[in-house]
């Protein structure tokens, strides 16, 4: 499913829409960057509370479809600028990580 459609159906707000047509194949929830580096897969929608510059680097390295910041969190301008430069989709969810992940799972389940 395209990221744009996932965002619409889950009520996510794009903060950086670098590639809203990216294909979302799954989801991954973690605040540990080392965990995401080791286990997230290309095409995952990464749900986290982290909002610093390193999130963009990890997202780029793993090729995730986008990064969703839970609980309406928003990154600073440096992170937004870096995400735009690196072509990383950044979104925010008004819901907490648990609810966002559950709704994503139901949406993507066969």
Got the DSSP string for the chain? -BHHHHHHHHT-EEEE-S-TTPBP-EEEE-S-HHHHHHH--TTEEEEES--SHHHHHHHHHHT-SEEEEGGG----HHHHHHHHHHT--EEE-SS-HHHHHHHHHHHH--
Please report the pLDDT score of residue 64 as a whole number: 98
Please report the pLDDT score of residue 110 as a whole number: 84
pLDDT tens for the chain, 110 residues long, are 999 999 999 999 999 999 999 999 999 999 999 999 999 999 999 999 999 999 999 999 999 999 999 999 999 999 999 999 999 999 999 999 999 999 999 999 98
The answer to whether the pTM exceeds 0.95 is yes
For 3-108, CATH number out of 3.30.930.10, 3.40.640.10, 3.30.428.10, 3.40.1390.20 equals 3.40.1390.20
């Amino acid at each position: 499913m395209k990221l744009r459609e996932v965002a619409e159906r889950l009520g996510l707000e794009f903060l950086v829409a670098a590639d809203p047509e990216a294909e979302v194949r799954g989801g991954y929830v973690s605040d540990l960057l080392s965990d995401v580096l080791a286990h997230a897969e290309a095409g995952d929608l990464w749900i986290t509370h982290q909002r610093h510059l390193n999130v963009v680097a990890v997202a780029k390295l793993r090729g995730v479809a986008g990064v969703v910041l839970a609980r309406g969190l928003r990154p600073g301008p440096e992170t937004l600028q870096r995400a735009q430069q690196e072509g990383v989709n950044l979104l925010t969810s008004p819901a907490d990580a648990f609810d966002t992940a559950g709704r994503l799972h139901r949406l993507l389940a066969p």
